[in-house]
Amino acid sequence: MSFLRRFYHRPRQLLARRANFQVHVWLGVAVSVYMIVIGISGSILVFRDEIERLGGRNPWHGAPRADRWADARVVVSNLNSAYPRARVK
Residue 69: count of CB within 10 angstroms of its CB: 7
* Residue-level pLDDT at 59: 64
Is residue 69 assigned to a domain? no
> What is the Cα–Cα distance from 24 to 17, expressed in whole angstroms?
10
Q: pLDDT tens digits for 52-88?
A: 778 777 666 666 776 778 888 988 889 899 999 988 7
* Amino acid identity, position 49: D
Q: Does any domain span residue 70? A: no
Give a yes or no: residue 34 inside a domain.
yes
> For residue 24, how far is the Cα from the chain centroid?
24
Please report whether residue 32 resides in a domain.
yes
Instruction: Count how many domains the chain has.
Output: 1
Question: Is 86 inside a domain boundary?
Answer: no
> What is the residue type of 1?
M
Q: What backbone torsions phi and psi does residue 47 show, to the nearest 5 degrees?
A: -100, 30
Whether 77 is in a domain gets the answer no
Domain that holds residue 41: 3-61
pTM of the predicted protein model: 0.48
Q: Output DSSP code: residue 61.
A: T
